[in-house]
Amino acid sequence: MSGPGQLTPEQATLLIPLVAKASQNTWRDPILRDETAAQVLRRLGRAVPARPALRGDAFGLALRARALDEWTAAFLARHPAATVLHLGCGLDGRVDPVPVPPGARWFDLDLPEVIALRRTVYPRHEGPGYRMIAASVTEGGWLREVPQDGPVLVIAEGLLMYLPEPEVRALLTRLGEMFPGGELVCDALSGLGVRLGGWHPALRASGATLRWGLEDPREVETWPPGFHLLDDVSLLDLPGFARLPRVERAAWRVLRRVPLLRRVHRLLRYRFQPLG
């Protein structure tokens, strides 16, 4: 069977949020409780490198996930028959805690090696309303497998910064033109964030390379077929960092006071619709 050892450096970064989310379950008062992550980690067993999540990283990743979960739940509440495309899903179990209406359709997509691993360790089975797609997000052929008869929510967490900018543009343009309208929720790094990310211990250990930085989220509004920025939230502004231990909390407060650093990592929500 496929395992973490068969993943590329970029694919292997899926272990970073998995370990961080699973570690939350041991906290007295977790940001989010992710039993699916803990179960997947147990099934992987010794295949996972011994790389414990730093507490600050676990906070940040959990807060990012919680914010995107809230945007996802709000979209599905407004559009209970929508289609959800979770791009670069890795081993994430977002479909489990989010309240998905019976009429919605959820697709988890990642590269074939990742989906092969996911099918061996992920507890949820495919069936009506839930499917996995094994394909590269930058290739357009997989879109033929997705219904195009209603609003769509595209989730891209911890994904776009690993792609070159031309591939990000092509992907978003293809999605915007293919569907009759919807929203994109994602996170993005600034150019400084991309440079700093190269020094992150977990990323350096994985050998992965960050490629795309976004300085101004409104730049995406100039890309066809037409995106409109709805929300732009600095990761440092998400509620929860105040619960960090005293030393890390002091560092967080300093970082929040520097505009350049506030823009390093942001959560973005766009509305899109086709040309014409």
CATH at residue 118: 3.40.50.150
Tell me which of 222 and 245 has the higher pLDDT: 222
Query: What mean pLDDT is reported for the chain?
Result: 88
Structure confidence by residue, pLDDT tens digits, 83-105 = 999 999 999 989 988 999 999 99
- On the question of pLDDT at 4 being above 70, the answer is no
By the 8 A CB rule, do 88 and 158 touch? yes
By the 8 A CB rule, do 206 and 12 touch? yes
End-to-end CA distance of the chain: 47
**95 within some domain:** yes
**29 within some domain:** no
Distance CA 74, CA 269 (A): 12
Q: What percent of the chain has pLDDT over 70?
A: 93
Residue closest to 123 by CA, chosen among 102, 103, 95: 95
- Position 135 confidence tier, pLDDT thresholds 50, 70, 90: very high
**27 within some domain:** no
**31 within some domain:** no
Structure confidence by residue, pLDDT tens digits, 210-228 = 999 999 999 999 988 889 9
What confidence score (pLDDT) does residue 212 get? 97
- On the question of pLDDT at 107 being above 70, the answer is yes
User: For 137-155, what is the mean pLDDT?
Assistant: 93
Strands (E), the chain: 83-87, 105-110, 130-134, 152-156, 182-189, 227-234, 265-272
Structure confidence by residue, pLDDT tens digits, 156-203 = 999 999 999 999 999 999 998 889 899 999 999 999 999 998 887 777
What total number of domains does the chain contain? 1
**15 within some domain:** no
**56 within some domain:** no
Structure confidence by residue, pLDDT tens digits, 21-55 = 888 777 777 888 888 888 888 888 755 654 555 66
**205 within some domain:** yes
The residues facing 153 across adjacent strands are 84, 183
**124 within some domain:** yes
What confidence score (pLDDT) does residue 52 get? 53
Range of the domain at 126: 63-272
What confidence score (pLDDT) does residue 1 get? 42
